[in-house]
């Protein structure tokens, strides 16, 4: 396996390059996956636009991408569970298994986490925006061959939403608000609908993501930019919603979410940002449970199964696919919420 492969590497803020590097053969317990599609995440956009996320800065060239899927093209010694040609979603999460948090059953909080495509540590964990990647066989989750590789590449963001739903508890019969209809908000909408929520209302500032949310299962959508009072009916009687998945990390959305929650409601904070104003008086007065939700663990396998069975249909969220050679145009499109939800890079050689 000596052929060079194409990679999408960020060298510094705004400096995204398509380069080549040598492919690596899988060792014992490893597989080589020909990546077919990789989703551009908000963190990828932050690295490209800002050179980092908060205090995490890009300090050396890094291959971006942590949402990807492809087909197995080589097997290392001793590999079982996957076979040549299998369509697999690649789990980018590599907890150490031995730190205090891993031993406590909190692998997503691993003190030594190696999360592919992350600049958190030096050396940076190289990501999945590459034509071929060698990973541990246990990181590969099979999906039926009748699915598209783009669907399979949605396993990682769906896992984030399934973890948030696990934090929330039983959704059956609940009234649920989803604030922010980007990729995570759209998928959180689908999860709430699939898990039996009685009412799912999704908000955003743009019409296109709200249309996607409707197709993903939202019963109602509200463009809070065009209709600032659109959530007022759910504020009556100290609030109507049992649960909020807050996916925007925007202070106005958080404030509205707290207004709309009933006393002792549950707010799951999925969106992440720096210091943000939060209405503590209402959180306290209404005895709201404010719960953060970070990444995932076992939910990745659950996401692969849900996509594989199309119990959760991710296709409406996929709004664009660009060849890796046009990565910068793809990033521009992904950053434009008026025309995109989930944008993928693809590695076809056609």
* pLDDT score for 181: 97
Q: Are residues 50 and 182 in the same domain?
A: no
Cα Rg, the chain, nearest whole Å: 20
Q: Is residue 39 included in any domain, yes or no?
A: yes
Q: Are residues 48 and 79 in the same domain?
A: yes
Burial class (CB in 10 A: 0-12, 13-18, 19+), 52: middle
Give the C-alpha separation, 208 to 225, whole Å.
13
Please list the rounded mean pLDDT of every run of 10 residues in the chain (350 residues): 85 97 95 98 96 92 98 96 97 96 96 95 96 96 95 98 97 98 98 98 98 98 97 97 97 97 98 91 97 97 97 98 97 96 89
Q: What is the pTM of this model?
A: 0.96
Give the C-alpha separation, 187 to 293, whole Å.
15
Give the C-alpha separation, 9 to 18, whole Å.
6
User: 313 is written with which tokens?
Assistant: 């249909």
Q: Are residues 138 and 185 in the same domain?
A: no
* pLDDT score for 350: 56
**CATH number where 16 lies:** 3.90.180.10
Q: Are residues 10 and 142 in the same domain?
A: yes
DSSP 118: B
Give the C-alpha separation, 224 to 237, whole Å.
21
* pLDDT score for 55: 86
Angle at CA of residue 113, ends 109 and 115, nearest 5°: 110
**CATH number where 237 lies:** 3.40.50.720
Q: Are residues 128 and 223 in the same domain?
A: no
Q: Is residue 65 included in any domain, yes or no?
A: yes
Number of other residues whose CB lies within 10 A of the CB of residue 142: 17
Q: Which domain holds residue 232?
A: 158-292
Q: Are residues 217 and 237 in the same domain?
A: yes
Please tell me the total count of domains within the chain: 2
């Amino acid at each position: 396996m000596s052929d060079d492969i194409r990679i999408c590497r960020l060298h510094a803020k705004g400096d995204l390059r398509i380069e080549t590097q040598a492919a690596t053969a899988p060792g014992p317990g490893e597989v080589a996956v020909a990546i077919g599609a990789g989703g551009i995440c908000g963190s990828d956009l932050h690295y490209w636009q800002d050179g980092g996320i908060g205090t995490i800065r890009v300090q050396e060239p890094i291959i971006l991408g942590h949402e990807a899927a492809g087909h197995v093209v080589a097997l290392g010694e001793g590999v079982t569970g996957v076979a040549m040609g299998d369509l697999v979603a690649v789990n980018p999460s590599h907890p150490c298994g031995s730190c205090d948090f891993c031993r406590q059953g909190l692998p997503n909080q691993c003190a030594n986490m190696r999360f592919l495509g992350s600049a958190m540590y030096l050396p940076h964990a190289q990501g999945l925006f590459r034509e071929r990647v060698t990973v541990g066989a246990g990181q590969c989750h099979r999906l039926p061959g009748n699915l598209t590789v783009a669907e399979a590449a949605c396993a990682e963001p769906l896992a984030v939403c399934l973890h948030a739903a696990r934090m929330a508890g039983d959704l059956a019969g609940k009234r649920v608000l989803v604030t922010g209809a980007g990729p995570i908000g759209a998928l959180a909408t689908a999860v709430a609908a699939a898990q039996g929520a009685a009412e799912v209302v999704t908000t955003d500032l743009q019409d296109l993501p709200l249309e996607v949310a409707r197709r993903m299962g939202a019963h109602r959508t509200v463009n809070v930019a065009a209709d600032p009072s659109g959530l007022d009916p759910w504020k009556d009687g100290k609030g109507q919603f049992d649960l909020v998945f807050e996916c925007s990390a925007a202070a106005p959305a958080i404030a509205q979410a707290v207004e709309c929650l009933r006393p002792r409601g549950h707010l799951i904070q999925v969106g992440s940002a720096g210091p943000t104003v939060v209405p503590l008086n209402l959180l306290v007065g209404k005895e709201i449970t404010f719960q953060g939700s970070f990444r995932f663990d076992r939910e990745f396998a659950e996401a692969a199964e849900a996509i594989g069975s199309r119990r959760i249909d991710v296709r409406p969220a996929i709004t664009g696919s660009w060849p890796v050679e046009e990565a910068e145009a793809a990033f521009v499109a992904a950053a434009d919420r008026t025309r995109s939800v989930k944008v993928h890079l693809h590695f076809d050689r056609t």
